[in-house]
Structure 1
Amino acid sequence: MPSPSGSVAALSSASATIFSIGIVFLGYWGMYEPTTWRFADVMVVLIALVGFGCLGLVPWMATTPVDSESNDTRIRIARHLFLAGVCAIWLAVGVSLVF
């Protein structure tokens, strides 16, 4: 079953939007403060970097050529990467609030 028209553009723009929100979060959170980092601080940055990696791969995976027009495996993988990236960014926000 082919993906709906515009799904590649929608996934790419949504991943770019969440990516920028994550960058704003890290800037606001205080990544550049001169204090020593705790274990929770390192975990926030590592989780956020995993999320950024997933979100950065979404446009590449969604625009990768496929064999046939009806093959939507790359779009499905891009959707899963998008979900993993959003969850990782929100998890980083949650860890920063709790610890």
Structure 2
Amino acid sequence: MRAPSGSVPGLCSASATMFAVGMAFLGYWGVYEPGGWHRSDLIVVILALVGFAALGSVPWIITTPVAEEGQEKIVAARRALLLGVALIWLSVLVSLLA
């Protein structure tokens, strides 16, 4: 089954937008504050970096050529987007609760 015609640009823009939101969060969160890092700080950064990797892979996954006409990468790209968004928001939640 073919994906809707706007799926590729939509997923690419959504991943880029969430990537920008995550970068803004890390910029304002306090990575540059003086003092030592705590364990919760490392958890926040690791969650965010893995989320960035997932979000950054969405355009690559969705635009790779496929061998057969019936195969599409939309489902894998949607899962990568969901994983990236969930990890970015989880890092925000951990930073608020810690």
Q: TM-score, normalised by structure 2?
A: 0.96
The amino acid of 2:75's aligned partner reads R
The amino acid of 1:80's aligned partner reads R
Give the match's secondary structure for 2:31: coil
The residue number in structure 2 matching 1:25 is: 25
**CA RMSD for the aligned pairs?**
0.8
Distance in 2 (CA, whole Å) between partners of 1:2 and 1:35 is 53
Alignment of 1:1-99 (within 5 A): 1-72=1-72, 74-99=73-98
Q: TM-score, normalised by structure 1?
A: 0.96
Deviations 1:26-80 (A, max 9, x none): 01100111211000000000000000000000000000001233322x1111100
Unaligned runs of 5+ in 2: none
Q: Percent identity?
A: 56
Distance in 2 (CA, whole Å) between partners of 1:70 and 1:12 is 21
Unaligned runs of 5+ in 1: none
Q: Aligned pairs, how many?
A: 98
Runs of 4+ in 1 over 4 A off after TM superposition: none
